[in-house]
Structure 1
């Protein structure tokens, strides 16, 4: 590409960056309703302004004799970085940051001598994203930074009208480029991303050597979900002990896409009560090649999530000791006694680095302070059907220095079952699980409990999860909420200041799913292709409550989909099967045979495929699964009515204690009637667009934040696009 072509391209891009916005209101990350019309309008606007703007821009750059940038060598940052994350698997891009109540400062260390790009978005692409591109001039060693954004209807970046990022320092050596810069959490600039408590998709891109002055031929890029404002989690200042609970040499066969494995462990032999204060994942999965496990740099572990449960005390210690010495059990075939292992102690899911508990709480450990035996449940998602040798588990950190309060984990949400259905072709379909006031009234102390943190859990089609708090007929502020849920990043969320939760209060876990890419309904279940809607709630003081869930009553569920009767089984028999965890006793032989051929934790999927409809006549002789698949899901009136019926209708509630007994009887009750909490976040904040400027900390000239060179604009043409 010759100099003349480069100059024309730069002028064109500069004009694009200055174009007024097309009047159609385009939502971030969504294509406009008429992209062709939009493009035509932009071209017309460009033509009308071309001559005047081109002359002005060219004259401006001709009169600029030097780059107005900050000399990075004159500044050394004294910040203490509270967070540090690798953005790529190889560690070539390292992001550090620290924030105040109003601003955030970044340090980006990248293995490149070209430009580095960082972006923030709610989606995993650059459309509508907030982008910053920076580099260190090879000739003078000066750092340069440009505030940009991605167009909402095209994979292209343009410069912002207002530059809201402030360069602090930047330098490069033989291999790496390092830059420090800061911005306001909310710049009040419509072209910038508001950094809040939700998960943010962090975009990154690297240019090849010398790309700060030339159009790069290609870039390396990627995305990583992170919560930038999460409180710092740190261990005790006192020495900690650790206890590793991990699977030993389990071969995951290539024929199983989903596998649950359960392993019993005996607690450490402790002379006194100890407190669990944190945990970390131990991921060790090795693909088997030619009969031998190997370590492969880019291989992904099939470990999807892990939960460590307390097991209720049993007088037959001999049997439990044998299980603790054994290799474990395939989920569906585990001994019935393991059903007493219901109290979660640690819950880990993809993307989490584990956590340390707040310094005032700890979970009792050991026979003298807790229980004798624990069960580790590991879910393997092996959709690629690889043969893998696994030794994964959880490292438990504990201490004899007791915390102020005994804490516990409570599981809440929708009971895992195929009665949890998400129709296909839906942008925002909601389901809900209830922890009833009858349950909390019978299991909690008079003074109530204090909620400390929450882990919100679902699978790949979930987009939003909310834990609501109802007291009487009034909704209180949400306990925890994730508005941009990403199943790749499931880290516990601290509840700021904690939350007092009283007897007879109600918990509601609400999940919103985007199933627009699915052609068939999604059933609830453990497989990654199925869905969940759960909350794991850390609280104190410790109570007997272990789990508090709900699901749609069986009869009401089938009636919602227009089915009244099946061949060979009454509705009461079907209900009994679901309530007995899929027990196959009493099933007709032909149905039993169909189910027994399935692999993995069935959770009723086989039953759905085996139930043949008898009534009504229009669905007769179809299996229920076929009936679900053939429903006209593109009809909004149908899906809206189903959502309303299952959400606002009857719920069957379950209340489980730590010893696997019922904390309250199973009940069928209607969705609670309460006054919704009105959100006024938007009205509480007043912003003046284009009026926010960061105070200078560099001493650089006022023009240092402006668009610095034609080469900076050239970089944008391929920033974040190539992979």
Structure 2
């Protein structure tokens, strides 16, 4: 994983600020920080060296006892990787790389892969600073990846390391963020504009999609929106699931007021080109310094549709909300006008996920050969720089894969540890070029072991979605490109009668779902012909068809050896020793690049 990450990050070296080249020492400034518990007792700082494949942590806890930091998985803390340390009453320091053998008992790893950089205790805090490889060869050490990482933090009131549920916390974090906000420019003439619904009475229904149409800032000349953030009102529980801002074509006739986005009045579902979006767990996002949302020219949208998805699962009455999106814009123009392309499985009930599924894969295909015809003008190559992943509660992983001339080119983005509660816009390590004629495939991985009912695609949080939003430049008029399988074919493969799509959907409720029938349904959905729906900002729609190509998995890269470490059987490439890594780091950049290229398995690039 670390080797693959380094390879994919290399093009960024030529585009952005240089990567760190020195190991982070005991006094180096760590750029990232986060509280890990609701009471703000546990504070984490971290930073990383992408060339050395090393991450450094500093954990500060309000305790005089032991502290621990590590990585865990979604389902259980047993087997979690935890680095433990503290200061004894006599001033002696203890520190070791351990793992959980059961719910509360820790055992020291045979291979000690964490390096202590500092451990102090004062009247208030115990502070532990250490570094570790992204991926060691110790099977007890979980990988640090560019996916969502579930960080485990724990502490005790004395110096006996033993987990207590009240002092153990897990928080999902993107540890390997490519761009730090402090590295981006903030224009001096910044203007703030709020797009919001004011004093909206949230219905007592489980799910509400509230939509209204608002003007973008009125400016006499071209400006760029360069940053956005959610504007949320605190309630006793989280009710705002997501907020999307859709650009409206200037020929659109728009309704007034606030109404159900997808209800009786179809006018409230007009405008489908997303320009910015926020979902649960997200924070602010600033575009790269050369990219912005253009406003103020005759070709730019003048109005937007603001969509707020409320989830009032406890049916609370009398709750008013004034949430929305705050945008920051400037007259200091960027080089490129950005757009957003929505990919995935077209959201309606043909998307189904059986109950009791340990694993179920869904696919949405995009074929770009009609983009130029629908755009009404030549479409320049699309340069993708960021993305936002979105499923609901059953989602476990997503990826977008690119094909050219029938050959898999690359995985554009993926997260094998997706967390519904952490949906943020992320930067790609290097910009990805999509050419006319390329195919784009979104794969979503679901698990429904906790459900005894069918899950269908739809707007509610208990329904499902399979969407990836690609942030790109230069902007064109294509708003979405999504696919869905021939449900009649799927029904027939499952032994059910169906003569139209509605019967095909209803037939899914008649299937006896077993592990065998679940896999049969997954196979049928993948083999069925896909209908691909392409939509423009002006609501023009064009359909085409295609077939789901296979996805070639990306091989894992080498792990990093340390004392007592051992190469895992599934590793296809040898471990990198500390001496070989040091040699690699001291080669000229071009030579290091060549080394990575030669070591990296190729998949049609």
Q: 5 Å matches for 1:231-246?
A: 231-234=178-181, 235-239=184-188, 240-246=190-196
More helix by percentage: 1
TM-aligned CA deviation for residue 198 of structure 1: 1.3
TM-aligned CA deviation for residue 260 of structure 1: 0.7
Partner residue in 1 for 2:149: 200
Is the CA contact (8 Å cut-off) linking 2:31 and 2:47 kept in structure 1?
Answer: yes
> How far apart are the structure 2 equivalents of 1:154 and 1:315?
58
Is the CA contact (8 Å cut-off) linking 1:94 and 1:109 kept in structure 2?
Answer: yes
> How far apart are the structure 2 equivalents of 1:634 and 1:185?
39
> How far apart are the structure 2 equivalents of 1:559 and 1:366?
53
Partner residue in 2 for 1:275: 224
Is it true that 1:474 corresponds to 2:423 in the alignment? no
Partner residue in 1 for 2:203: 253
* Cα separation, partners in 2 of 1:315 and 1:356, compared to 1, 3 Å: closer
> How far apart are the structure 2 equivalents of 1:639 and 1:414?
19
Is the CA contact (8 Å cut-off) linking 1:270 and 1:368 kept in structure 2?
Answer: no
Partner residue in 2 for 1:144: 94
Partner residue in 2 for 1:225: 172
Is the CA contact (8 Å cut-off) linking 1:245 and 1:265 kept in structure 2?
Answer: yes
Is the CA contact (8 Å cut-off) linking 2:490 and 2:521 kept in structure 1?
Answer: no
Is it true that 1:310 corresponds to 2:247 in the alignment? yes
* Cα separation, partners in 2 of 1:694 and 1:461, compared to 1, 3 Å: same
Partner residue in 2 for 1:112: 63
Is it true that 1:156 corresponds to 2:36 in the alignment? no
* Cα separation, partners in 2 of 1:640 and 1:86, compared to 1, 3 Å: same
Partner residue in 2 for 1:633: 513
Q: Specify which of 320, 323, 327 is matched with residue 389 of structure 1.
A: 320
Greater Cα radius of gyration, structure 1 or 2: 1
Q: What are the ranges of 5 or more consecutive residues in structure 2 without an aligned counterpart?
A: 1-23, 566-575, 580-605
> How far apart are the structure 2 equivalents of 1:221 and 1:247?
38
Is it true that 1:666 corresponds to 2:543 in the alignment? yes
SS of alignment partner, residue 56 of structure 2? strand
Is the CA contact (8 Å cut-off) linking 1:109 and 1:178 kept in structure 2?
Answer: yes
> How far apart are the structure 2 equivalents of 1:527 and 1:500?
34
TM-aligned CA deviation for residue 369 of structure 1: 6.1
Is the CA contact (8 Å cut-off) linking 1:207 and 1:218 kept in structure 2?
Answer: no
> Aligned Cα RMSD in Å?
2.8
* Cα separation, partners in 2 of 1:85 and 1:658, compared to 1, 3 Å: same
Is it true that 1:132 corresponds to 2:83 in the alignment? yes
Partner residue in 2 for 1:449: 382
> How far apart are the structure 2 equivalents of 1:685 and 1:135?
28
TM-aligned CA deviation for residue 557 of structure 1: 5.2
> How far apart are the structure 2 equivalents of 1:315 and 1:438?
26
1:467-522, Cα deviation, whole Å (9 max, x unpaired): 01011110111000111111111122322221111001011100011112211221
1:572-604, Cα deviation, whole Å (9 max, x unpaired): xxx5xxxxxxxxxxxxxxxxxxxxxxxxxxxxx
Q: Specify which of 412, 422, 438 is matched with residue 353 of structure 2.
A: 422
* Cα separation, partners in 2 of 1:314 and 1:161, compared to 1, 3 Å: same
Q: Specify which of 340, 354, 362 is matched with residue 284 of structure 2.
A: 354
* Cα separation, partners in 2 of 1:138 and 1:302, compared to 1, 3 Å: farther
Partner residue in 2 for 1:53: none
> How far apart are the structure 2 equivalents of 1:381 and 1:630?
29
TM-aligned CA deviation for residue 308 of structure 1: 0.7
Q: Specify which of 36, 42, 47 is matched with residue 98 of structure 1.
A: 47
> How far apart are the structure 1 equivalents of 2:352 and 2:38?
35
Q: Aligned pairs, how many?
A: 538
Is the CA contact (8 Å cut-off) linking 2:111 and 2:562 kept in structure 1?
Answer: no
Q: Specify which of 564, 578, 581 is matched with residue 690 of structure 1.
A: 564
1:409-461, Cα deviation, whole Å (9 max, x unpaired): 11111111111001112212111001113334535746411111111111111
> How far apart are the structure 1 equivalents of 2:278 and 2:329?
17
Is the CA contact (8 Å cut-off) linking 1:457 and 1:533 kept in structure 2?
Answer: yes
> How far apart are the structure 1 equivalents of 2:323 and 2:39?
21
Q: Specify which of 326, 338, 359 is matched with residue 407 of structure 1.
A: 338
Is it true that 1:518 corresponds to 2:398 in the alignment? no
Q: What are the ranges of 5 or more consecutive residues in structure 1 without an aligned counterpart?
A: 1-74, 287-298, 576-607, 614-623, 696-723
Partner residue in 1 for 2:595: none
Q: More deviation in 406-415 or 435-444?
A: 435-444
> How far apart are the structure 1 equivalents of 2:85 and 2:416?
30
1:165-224, Cα deviation, whole Å (9 max, x unpaired): 12222333433322221112222222211212111111112322xx11587877412211
* Cα separation, partners in 2 of 1:136 and 1:510, compared to 1, 3 Å: same
Q: Specify which of 648, 654, 660 is matched with residue 533 of structure 2.
A: 654
* Cα separation, partners in 2 of 1:133 and 1:376, compared to 1, 3 Å: same
SS of alignment partner, residue 442 of structure 1? helix
* Cα separation, partners in 2 of 1:216 and 1:489, compared to 1, 3 Å: closer
* Cα separation, partners in 2 of 1:244 and 1:144, compared to 1, 3 Å: farther
* Cα separation, partners in 2 of 1:336 and 1:523, compared to 1, 3 Å: closer
